Structure formats: structure tokens, C-alpha cells
Amino acid sequence: MTDFPKPPQGKKIVYLEIWQEFVPSVTGWQPLNLSAYIPAEAICDFMIINSSPNKDYIAGLRKTGSTMERTADVDADTSINFIVAAGVSATVEAYTDDIANIKFILVGYWVEI
């Protein structure tokens, strides 16, 4: 079993729920500005939804500036969850190969208080 890092003495990590939908406007990697919803460097909990009844698509999320190809196959008419760290400007990068059927939902975030 992995020991997860503990917050600094006197601090704690809390999870805050939110429901904010982002619909991509282009395919490929694009920035998602989350600054109206989260603080800088929060750890974000996303749901990626594929609303197509019969076609799988590729989607993913990564920290802004990363070159990692953090994508997954999102099966038809289903959703997957992604955890991603936001950068100092409270942004992440989102990827999709379809703009008509893929949605990114920010469902919550973790922050140190």
C-alpha cells in the first residue's frame, strides 16, 4: 500500500464540489481556464462524457505546459473520470477528437487550507 503525502503541520486538504460544464470548441489540445471556479494549483476532479450512442472518442486532460499524452478512449454513451493538477493560472489543457459529443465536467477540486 502506498503512503500518500500528508499536508504540512496545521493544514488540511478539503474537497469542494462544483458542477461546471466545458464544451470544447476545437479538436486537439486546448487550454481550459478554470480561474472563475477554482484557486490556482488546485487538484481538479473531472468527468468526461461521450454522448454519442454508437461511437467511441479520445479525450484527456493534463497540466498546462505538460507534453504528456494523457488521453483515454471514452466509449460510446459513457463517461470517465480524470484527476489533473491546475497550474498557477488555474488552467489545464483538454484534448478531444470530437467537439459535438464530448463534454468536460469539473465536478470538484481538492485544496489545502
In this predicted model, what pLDDT tens digit does every residue of 61-79 receive, in sequence order? 999 999 999 999 999 999 9
Q: How many domains does the chain have?
A: 1
Query: Cα(12)–Cα(48) distance, rounded to whole angstroms?
Result: 28
94 falls within a domain: yes
Extended strands (E) in 8-101: 13-22, 28-33, 43-50, 57-63, 71-74, 78-85, 91-96
pTM above 0.95, yes or no: no
Q: 34: domain CATH number?
A: 2.60.120
Query: pLDDT tens across 35-59, in order?
Result: 999 999 999 999 999 999 999 999 9
For residue 32, being part of any structural domain is answered with yes
* 84 domain residue, yes or no: yes
Has residue 8 been placed in a domain?
no
What domain range is 92 assigned to? 13-112
Q: Is position 3 within any domain?
A: no
Does residue 6 sit within a domain? no
Does some domain include residue 22? yes
In whole angstroms, give the CA distance from residue 17 to residue 41: 16
Q: Is residue 46 part of a domain?
A: yes
